[in-house]
Amino acid sequence: MEALLLPLVLTHELLSGEWYYGNINRQKAEKLLLAPQNKTGSFLVRISESHSDEYTISARSETNVFHFRIQRSSVGAYFVSDKISFATLDELIRYYQNNPKILGCPLDQPCVQQRELFDMEPWERPREEFKLVKKLGEGHFGEVWEAVWTTKDKKVAIKMLKQEDTKLDEFVKEVHALKNLHHPKLIQLLALCTRGEPVYIITELMTKGSLKSYLASPEGQVLTSAHLIYMAGQVAEGMAYLEDRHIVHRDLAARNILVGSDLECKVADFGLARIIK
């Protein structure tokens, strides 16, 4: 009876592990682990391509992915090295997480699937559609560029995120906030390039830059009180929209207000936004 129950127990164990990715091949595992949302120590467990009753640990180092075969003993135990075996995969994984030097590669956190962080269809576009024109500066997450969306003959702004950027979580929060917010006084998300590096967030381009830099410019220094009140009113409209949706920006400042032609102002940089239940 125990032998008959064993496969059901193992199936339940596997499916409940965040690190279990089932029947994906080596190439797919490497692509997932090397994606921007993962880092050194990210790992997954998959069914072996050559032995369907065995498994493979795929683990990321700084720039590579290593693969470790998990074999089964005659009594059903799991092992990477024949020096030590485990009754369950979970026990094996926990052992190597606590003893990273044995494998030579840490198992710090389960691989994060791209669809969990960047479930962005139909926002995703090929990066070949965008031609970089000039660097505008350094934003909250890295470089910001003026670019042309060639298939639409449209000027846009592009925020870039490199793999080693430590603010990935905030970057992802900004994307999710942007794609669900639609108001004329908020910067609008236009497209994304999340496949490959660097990741692009493509938004509308505000030609005058940040309110902070604009106010310090010769053009900004001659603004009247009426002009400033008009600009402040636009910011208030955008913030009222966020309040209605129980969203707190948490980083509202002149550097995060963008200015376009005719003193048009829009609220930007939602990386620190929080939704209040």
Segment 128-153, tens digit of pLDDT: 999 999 999 876 567 899 999 999 99
| Residue 251 is a catalytic residue | yes
Mean pLDDT over the full length of the chain:
83
Is 255 annotated in a binding site? The answer is yes
Q: Could you tell me what percent of the chain has a pLDDT over 70?
A: 81
Structure confidence at residue 24 (pLDDT) = 84
Is 82 annotated in a binding site? The answer is no
Is 256 annotated in a binding site? The answer is yes
One-letter amino acid at 35 equals A
Q: How far is CA 49 from CA 32, 86, 229, in A?
A: 17, 22, 65
Select from 210, 203, 218 the least CA-distant residue to 235.
210
E-strand spans in the chain?
Answer: 20-22, 42-47, 55-60, 65-72, 78-79, 109-110, 130-138, 143-149, 154-161, 189-193, 199-204, 209-210, 247-248, 257-259, 265-267, 274-275
Overall average pLDDT of the 215-239 stretch? 97
Is 152 annotated in a binding site? The answer is no
What are 23-64's pLDDT values in tens digits?
Answer: 889 998 998 899 888 899 999 999 888 887 789 999 999 889
DSSP letter string over 143-157?
A: EEEEEEETTTTEEEE
Structure confidence at residue 137 (pLDDT) = 84
Answer whether residue 272 shows pLDDT above 70. Answer: no
Out of 90, 108, 165, 251, which one is annotated catalytic? 251
Answer whether residue 93 shows pLDDT above 70. Answer: yes
What's the distance, CA 177 to chain centroid? 13
User: The pTM is what?
Assistant: 0.56
